Amino acid sequence: KPGEQKHPKEPPSLQCMHLAVVACGDRLEETLIMLKSAVLFSNRRLCFHIFAEDSLKPEFEKKLKEWPSSYTKKFESSIYPITFSVGNAQEWKKLFKPCAAQRLFLPVILKDVDSLLYVDTDVLFLRPIDDIWHLLREFNSTQLAAMAPEHEIPKIGWYSRFARHPYYGTTGVNSGVMLMNLTRIRSTQFKNSLIPGGLTWEEMLYPLYQKYKNYITWGDQDLLNIIFYFNPECLYVFPCQWNYRPDHCMYGSNCRGAEEDGVSILHGNRGVYHDDKQPTFKALYEVIRDFPFEDNLFQSLYYPLQSKFLDTVHTLCGRIPQVFLKQIEKTMKKVYENRVIVYLGANHRY
C-alpha cells in the first residue's frame, strides 16, 4: 500500500543461528569456554540464549563484554532466569544435574525462536556451528529434533544393559547436543504411554516424569529417550562425531565418523576437563581457554595443542590425536584462507 513501510525478510546469511545453554552452580567458566569456541570458528551471526541462576547473570554479562569487539559483533546474547512452566520447580531443578531439566522447557519459553541448537556446558566446537545447523535441512517432514546415539555398541551401552524404562533405538540417545525445530515441537501431538490420544510437548512433560521418576537415572535425557521411544519418526539421528565423548575412545576407538572426518563437537562429560582421567580432552579445553582472542590461530591454538597432545600418547584417547585435530585444522585453514582472500582483495591494484 502507498506509504506503508516494507520489512524485507532477512537473507539466510544474516539470520541468527540460535544456541542455548543452561548454567548453574560452578559452570560459569565452562560455559564461557564453550561460547568462545562457538564464536572462534562460526561464520554466520550467533544468538546466545543463556539460562542461568540469578547469581551468575552479572558475571556472564561482564565476561562477554570483555571480549574484543571483533568477536562481540559476531553474536548477541540474552540471559534468562531458570523457570519451569509445569510441575514442581524444585523437583525439576534437582533432577540429575542442577537445572539441567531446563532444556525440556525451551520450546515453551523461546516462543519466537524457530530452530535452536542446545548444548551442555561441557561442549566444545571444533568446527563452525554453521555445519551442524545445516542438518536442519535434512529433517524429513516428521522429524523435529536431532541427537547422537548414547553408544555405538549395544553390548557395552548403558541403556541396553541397565535401563528400566523405554528408550530410543538400540542404545538410546545422548542429549548433550540437541538440534531442535521448536516450531514443529510446539505444534506436534506426541504419542505417549499416558493417554490413548496425543499430548502437546508441555502437557506431556510433568505426567511423564511422574510416571517414570523412580526408574530414571540420567534425568531429562531419560525423559527425552522415553518421548522418542514412543515417537521414533520425530527424531533425526546424527553421527557420533557431532557429540564425541570419552566413551568413544576409552574402550578402543568406536566412532567411525570421527576416525574418517575428525571430531566436530567434543563433549567432555563426567568432568574430564577438570581432572586427569582423559588428558586429551583436558588439553583441548585448556588450549581454547587460554587462547588470546586476537592472536594467530595456528600459532596460539593449533601448535600448543599439538605440543600438549604429545604428552597424552600413552593414554587410550591420546593414541588417536588425528581424530581430535583433523576438523580443527581444516577449520583454521578455512579461516586463514578467507582472511588472506579478503586482505588480498582489499589491497589488489590493477
The per-residue pLDDT for 213 is 87
Higher pLDDT, 1 or 203: 203
106 Cβ contact list (under 8 Å, min separation 6): 20, 49, 116, 118, 180, 182
Q: Are 132 and 193 in contact, with CB atoms under 8 Å apart?
A: no
**Does residue 11 have a pLDDT over 60?**
no
Higher pLDDT, 287 or 214: 287
The mean per-residue pLDDT over the stretch 34-61 comes to 96
The per-residue pLDDT for 14 is 52
**Which CA distances in Å does 105 have to 165, 190, 203, 341?**
21, 15, 11, 43
**Does residue 60 have a pLDDT over 90?**
yes
**Does residue 1 have a pLDDT over 70?**
no
The mean per-residue pLDDT over the stretch 328-338 comes to 83
The per-residue pLDDT for 15 is 85
Distance of CA 166 to the CA centre of its chain: 24
Closest-CA residue to 284 (of 309, 259, 317, 262): 309
- Which domains does the chain show, CATH number per domain? 17-238 (3.90.550.10), 241-348 (no CATH)
The per-residue pLDDT for 85 is 79
Phi-psi region at 182: left, alpha or beta (left = phi > 0; alpha = psi -120 to 50): alpha
244 Cβ contact list (under 8 Å, min separation 6): 255, 258, 263, 264, 265, 266, 267
Higher pLDDT, 10 or 336: 336
83, three cell numbers: 523457570
The per-residue pLDDT for 9 is 46
Give residue 176's identity as a one-letter amino acid code: G
- How far apart (Å, rounded) are the C-alpha atoms in residues 92 and 86? 9
The per-residue pLDDT for 133 is 98
pLDDT in tens, 88-130: 777 877 775 668 889 999 999 999 999 999 999 999 999 999 9
- How far apart (Å, rounded) are the C-alpha atoms in residues 242 and 263? 7
**Which CA distances in Å does 273 have to 120, 206, 267, 314?**
13, 33, 10, 18
User: Interhelix angle for 303-310 vs 321-347, to 10°?
Assistant: 170
- Determine which helix (DSSP H) or strand (DSSP E) holds 76, and give its type and residue range: strand 75-80
The per-residue pLDDT for 341 is 64
